[in-house]
């Protein structure tokens, strides 16, 4: 083994699980502190649960989002949690940082027992905030995903304080965008700290993606005709504007009446059902349950467009996977996504808060068959160069070797 790395992450997250597997593939021993209840991931040497920042409530709320209305009615507690969910993020901004000192003693006890070569927290709220209690002498690396610095860091005065505390303590920093490296220095990361920019998953397994069998539309009762537009971003209030996506669909259908809109992760989510009903979209909007990674890859291969109307984001792994599968991206025109998308070359950038702009971008992409074909080749080469495991794993290894003790 090259060394022992202790990761602090949400152990349920496919992105975190992919990072763990990639680090293990490099020959490191990996232990995990999960901030959410989950089963120990395969192959981890040691596993601990520290449910900081009301994470048990968040887990319950997310689980309840997958319930049908009937099952929610049968389980009033879960129905209550679903009603609380829109306000839970604001509550975590205020209360979440206050829970950290209570877990800091247990965290330091784990460090004394394990004596890891380094600690790597895979996002700032609230894993990196917990990791900021790492004693000097043990290298501590912080990381950002998605909205850590553009949205969550300013969620409350305590969020600002603990975000700064995390980055001031960090000996190194990894991110999925160059934007976040710049912002991390502004938030207090030492100018001498080594940095790394790679996808949050650690890198895509293109061989696995390529070998995925075709999508079985019959399993989900989907019509195997028309143009498929996939939006896999789920419900992310404040960052992904799904209300805009649903509001854009009638205008798209006026020009492309056979289009089908497929939304993994929104089955049973009452807010999504209300949007579909509000715009009378039930016949052509398909709210699917959470899909496995192979199912998502197969869906991207079958679909013409990938849509993500986000105003706060890092580099979504779903975007990279869709690009690797030849699915044309229509995404929010924000700094992080401009690191991957060249307007009108390999995707389209739109105003994520405007239904008219989003509808126009989707219609333009559906009309531009030649553009989509050229973009598919361009995007696969881009992924091979910047996001595939062959490109990313050597960078991760070199990054860790600067710190491992």
Same domain, 176 and 287: no
Could you give the number of structural domains in the chain? 2
pTM above 0.85, yes or no: yes
pLDDT in tens, 58-72: 643 344 333 333 333
Same domain, 183 and 264: no
Q: Where are the alpha helices (DSSP H) in 303-354?
A: 317-324, 335-338
Give the CATH number, domain containing residue 46: 3.40.50.2000
Same domain, 126 and 161: yes
Same domain, 77 and 159: yes
Q: Which domain holds residue 284?
A: 206-386
Q: What does the block give as tokens for 147? A: 């909205």
Same domain, 142 and 213: no
Same domain, 219 and 170: no
Same domain, 22 and 128: yes
Same domain, 150 and 267: no
Same domain, 328 and 316: yes
Same domain, 150 and 12: yes
pLDDT in tens, the chain (405 residues): 899 999 999 999 999 999 999 999 999 999 999 999 999 999 999 999 999 998 887 643 344 333 333 333 444 455 555 555 556 778 899 999 999 999 999 999 999 999 999 999 999 999 999 999 999 999 999 999 889 999 999 999 999 999 999 999 999 999 999 999 999 999 999 999 999 999 999 999 999 999 999 999 999 999 999 999 999 999 998 899 999 999 999 999 999 999 999 999 999 999 999 999 999 998 899 999 999 999 999 999 999 999 999 999 999 999 999 999 999 999 999 999 999 999 999 999 999 999 999 999 999 999 999 999 999 999 999 999 999 999 999 999 999 999 996
Give the Cα separation of 248 and 371 in Å (integer). Answer: 22
pLDDT in tens, 190-249: 999 999 999 999 999 999 999 999 999 999 999 999 999 999 999 998 899 999 999 999
Range 54-89 burial, b when 16+ CB lie within 10 A, else e: bbebbbbbbebbbbeeeebeeeeebbebbeebeebb
Give the Cα separation of 16 and 211 in Å (integer). Answer: 23
Same domain, 171 and 248: no
Same domain, 235 and 291: yes
Tally Cβ neighbours within 10 Å of residue 356: 13
3-state helix, strand, coil in the chain (%, to 5): 50, 15, 35
């Amino acid at each position: 083994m090259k060394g022992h790395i202790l990761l602090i992450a949400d152990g349920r997250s496919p992105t975190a699980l992919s990072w763990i597997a990639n680090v293990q593939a490099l020959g490191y021993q990996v232990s995990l502190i999960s901030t959410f209840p989950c089963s120990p991931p395969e192959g981890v040497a040691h596993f601990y649960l520290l449910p900081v920042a009301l994470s048990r409530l968040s887990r319950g709320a997310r689980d309840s989002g997958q319930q049908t209305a009937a099952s929610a009615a049968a389980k009033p507690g879960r129905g209550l949690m679903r009603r609380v969910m829109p306000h839970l993020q604001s509550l975590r901004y205020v209360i979440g940082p206050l829970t950290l000192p209570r877990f800091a003693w247990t965290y330091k006890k784990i460090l004394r027992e394990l004596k890891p070569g380094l600690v790597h927290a895979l996002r700032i709220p609230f894993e990196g905030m917990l990791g900021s209690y790492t004693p000097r002498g043990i290298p501590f690396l912080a990381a950002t995903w998605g909205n850590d610095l553009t949205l969550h860091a300013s969620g409350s005065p305590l969020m600002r304080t603990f975000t700064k505390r995390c980055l001031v303590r960090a000996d190194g920093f990894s991110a999925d965008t160059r934007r976040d490296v710049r912002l991390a220095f502004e938030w207090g990361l030492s100018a001498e700290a080594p940095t790394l920019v790679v996808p949050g998953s650690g890198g895509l397994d293109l061989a696995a993606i390529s070998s995925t069998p075709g999508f079985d539309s019959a399993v989900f009762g989907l019509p195997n005709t028309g143009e498929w537009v996939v939006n896999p971003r789920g419900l992310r209030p404040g960052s992904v504007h799904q209300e805009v996506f649903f509001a854009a669909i009638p205008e798209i259908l006026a020009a492309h009446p056979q289009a089908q809109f497929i939304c993994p992760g929104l089955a049973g989510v009452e807010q999504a059902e209300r949007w579909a009903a509000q715009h009378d979209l039930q016949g052509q909007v398909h709210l699917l349950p959470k899909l496995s990674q192979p199912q998502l890859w197969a869906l991207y291969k079958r679909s013409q467009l990938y849509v993500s109307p986000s105003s706060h984001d890092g580099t979504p792994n779903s975007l990279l996977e869709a690009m690797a599968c030849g699915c044309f991206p229509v995404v929010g025109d924000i700094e992080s996504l401009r690191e991957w998308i060249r307007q009108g070359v390999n995707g389209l950038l739109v105003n994520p808060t405007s239904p008219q702009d989003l509808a126009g971008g989707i219609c333009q992409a559906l009309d531009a068959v030649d553009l989509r074909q050229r973009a598919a080749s361009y995007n696969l080469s881009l992924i091979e160069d910047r996001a595939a495991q062959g490109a990313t794993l050597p960078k991760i290894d070199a990054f860790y070797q600067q710190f491992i003790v």
